[in-house]
Amino acid sequence: MSQGNFGVAGLGVMGQNVALNIERNGFEVIAYNRSEDKANEMREKSAGKNVFVTQSIEEFVQKLEPPRRVLLMVTAGAGTDAVIEALTQHLEPGDIIIDGGNSHFPDTNRRNEALQAKGFHFVGCGISGGEEGALWGPSIMPGGKYEAYERIAPVLEKIAAKTEDDGPCVTYCGRTSAGHYVKMVHNGIEYGIMQIICEVYDILRKSAGMSTPKIQEVFADWTKSEIGGFLIEITAQCLAKKDDQGSGWLVEKVLDTAGQKGTGKWTAQTALDLGVPIPTLSMAVEARILSGLKPQRVEASKILDGPERRHGKRRKDLVEALFNATYVSMIASYAQGMALIQEASKEYDYGTNLAEVARIWKEGCIIRSKLLDPIKQAFKEQPGLANMLTHPYFSKIVNDTLPDLRKVIRIAARTGVPTTCLGATLAYIESYRSEFLPANLLQGLRDNFGAHTYKRLDMEGVFHSQWNEK
Ligand code: 6PG
């Protein structure tokens, strides 16, 4: 029996799959796409199902029962504004527009204000899980006015991924652009963890001289461990894939230049604006940019020397150390992301519940892993926790595993393998745990050339000195 209808505008693969997910959960879906090919694809995929497909925006709006609920599944950017503009010609005050794309949070703020002024409700909603997740249960991160969230929550709870013990992977992330902010940081963490995995792979092949199948075994083994989760699982999958165009392993034939669509960069940018250190996540963006300099790297590889590589014999020790290095670096990635959301929630008055964010990342999303449950517990116990590294559960793991991160970086340095994110992670933790940093000298330098003044450890006040006089 139908439980009311729900509109989906934008029928790319994600839009199609979310629409099918909504229909499977008992709602009639009214689906809209202006272009014929996408609309026809949807017609084919939904044949015999409770889905009505239209290419007319008027008909789309007419078919929906007021107050209308419209989910936009449009590529973030100008396209989102265009669809909103067209829709609002026909919608009525009180209708709800949900933006399910990866929109940049300042755009969500702008749209939120404009739409509210016209009497519409707007929900900026992060959706994670890729194509499969969209169809079978994504992690959903909505934000905006709570009263609008309440009206769509029954649908979102049905279509979201389910945890075994912790409910559906959807929660109210907070006011205004909180949903898209949380999703952006999710992607920042995704960038960090993926780059860590890639550096570990690089050390295994270059420093230890291991073959792709041997490296695959390592990751397959880790899927059952404390760091097990989606990204480790799909790493094992990627490394097991045979080249269907020739012989050998597909991953070895893939051009080593990474793409990006912006969410990782935005995470780094907002962290700089808010003054929150997230070096692991930021360096993952830098690593992608460096990978893009392929022609320059090819030239430089002929000019700049690296150390001679002799593969050590103690592979088992290295694999164990790499496990711990991955463990601590994954924890640091989540810690940096959570600290950023914590600060953004204060600065932008989101009112985000960090324990809830960790809970809804337990299933469905790209960064789901076994670490999310203890992260949830930590923030449940201490909602104002500034950095989860200091929570007793995580500080014990960090203290146990950090020596191995140091060891891995020594080995990588000795064998000339870049550790862009692993190195940034070590520096982050070493800095964070340092009572004293060399910023005393930095302040001296600033005061020396620019009279920027400094404070003292042993006296109150603001000081300036003539540093060129002994
Ligand atoms: C998700 C993903 C999804 C998408 C990223 C990839 O949570 O489902 O994060 O949103 O795969 O946008 O981003 P890049 O193309 O920048 O790697």
Residue 190 a catalytic site member? yes
Token pair 């707007």: residue: 122
Look-up of token digits 């604006």: 273
Cα–Cα dist 381/390, whole Å: 13
Overall residue count recorded for the chain in this entry: 470
Helix or strand holding residue 5 (H, E): strand 5-9
Per-residue pLDDT for 268 more than 50? Answer: yes
Q: Atom of ligand 1 at shortest distance to CA of 263?
A: 16
Q: Atom 17, ligand 1: which residue's CA is nearest?
A: 260
**Is the beta carbon of 365 within 6 A of some atom in ligand 1?**
yes
Whether 190 is in the pocket of ligand 1, judged by its Cβ within 6 Å, is yes
Does 1 have pLDDT greater than 50?
no
The per-residue pLDDT of the chain, averaged, comes to: 97
CA of 465 to the centre of ligand 1 (A): 51
Query: In this model, does residue 150 exceed pLDDT 60?
Result: yes
183 part of the active site:
yes
Give the Å distance between the CA of 366 and the centre of ligand 1.
8
CA of 434 relative to ligand 1 center, distance in Å? 34
| Per-residue burial over 9-19, b = 16 or more CB atoms within 10 Å of its CB, e = otherwise | bbbbebbbbbb
pLDDT digits (tens, 9 = 90+) for 80-122: 999 999 999 999 999 999 999 999 999 999 999 999 999 999 9
pLDDT digits over 134-147, tens only? 999 999 999 999 99
Q: Which two tokens stand for residue 387?
A: 């950095």
Report how far apart the first and last C-alpha atoms of the chain are (Å, whole number).
86
- Phi first, then psi: what are they for 312, rounded to 5°? -65, 165
Question: How much of the chain, in percent, has pLDDT values that exceed 90?
Answer: 97
Handedness of CA 159, 164, 165, 169 (dihedral sign): negative
In this structure, what token pair is assigned to residue 154? 């029954």
pLDDT tier for residue 309 given thresholds of 50, 70 and 90: confident
Predicted confidence at residue 3, as pLDDT, reads 58
**Given this model, what pLDDT does residue 310 score?**
79
From 17, 135, 288, 366, give the residue whose CB has the most ligand 1 atoms within 8 Å, as the site to mutate.
366
- Checking DSSP bridges between strand 5-9 and strand 69-72, what pairing results, if any? parallel
Stretch 359-368: mean pLDDT = 98
Q: Does ligand 1 have an atom closer than 6 angstroms to the CB of 130?
A: yes
- pLDDT reported for residue 313: 74
DSSP label at 50? S
Q: Per the structure block, which two tokens stand in for 19?
A: 């629409």
Q: Has residue 2 got a pLDDT over 70?
A: no
Ligand 1 atom closest to Cα of residue 190: 9
Q: Report CA Rg, the chain.
A: 25
Q: Is the pLDDT at 467 greater than 80, yes or no?
A: yes
Residue nearest to atom 4 of ligand 1 (CA): 130
Beta strands in 80-147 (DSSP E): 96-99, 121-128, 139-144
Centre of ligand 1 to C-alpha 367, Å, is 11
Q: How many CB atoms lie within 10 A of CB 139?
A: 30
- Taking only the tens place, the pLDDT of each residue in 372-421 is 999 999 999 999 999 999 999 999 999 999 999 999 999 999 999 999 99
Residue 230 Cα to ligand 1 middle (Å): 14
Q: Is the CB of 131 under 6 A from ligand 1?
A: no
The single residue of 183, 265, 362, 376 carrying the catalytic annotation is: 183
Please state the atom number of ligand 1 nearest to the C-alpha of residue 258.
17
Q: Which atom of ligand 1 is nearest to the CA of 365?
A: 7
Q: Which atom of ligand 1 has the smallest separation from the CA of 366? A: 7
137: which residues sit within 8 A by CB, 6+ positions away?
Answer: 21, 129, 159, 160, 161, 162, 169, 363, 364
Q: How many CA atoms, within 13 angstroms, populate the side-chain half-sphere of residue 112?
A: 21
pLDDT tens digits, 202-244: 999 999 999 999 999 999 999 999 999 999 999 999 999 999 9
187 CA to middle of ligand 1, Å?
6
Say yes or no: CB of residue 75 within 6 Å of ligand 1.
no
- The protein residue whose alpha carbon is closest to atom 11 in ligand 1 is 130
Pocket of ligand 1 contains residue 138 by CB under 6 Å = no
Does residue 312 surpass a pLDDT of 80?
Answer: no
Cα dihedral across residues 404, 405, 410, 416: positive or negative: positive
Task: Please tell me the residue having the least CA distance from ligand 1 atom 1.
Answer: 128
- Ligand 1 centroid, distance to 347 Cα (angstroms): 25
Q: What's the 100 CA to ligand 1 centre distance in angstroms?
A: 13
The 10 Å Cβ neighbour count of residue 151 is: 16
- Which one of 23, 28, 190, 363 is the catalytic residue? 190
> What average pLDDT does the segment 48-70 reach?
97
Any atom of ligand 1 within 6 Å of the Cβ of 17? no
- 167, pLDDT greater than 80: yes
3-state secondary structure of 347: helix
Name the nearest CA neighbour of 160 among 124, 122, 187, 125.
125
pLDDT at residue 51 above 80? Answer: yes
Tell me what the mean pLDDT of segment 338-355 comes to: 98
Task: For residue 262, give the ligand 1 atom closest to its CA.
Answer: 16
On the question of pLDDT at 196 being above 60, the answer is yes
Each residue's pLDDT tens digit, 347-363: 999 999 999 999 999 99
Chain-centroid distance of CA 284 in Å reads 11
Average pLDDT over residues 40-45: 98
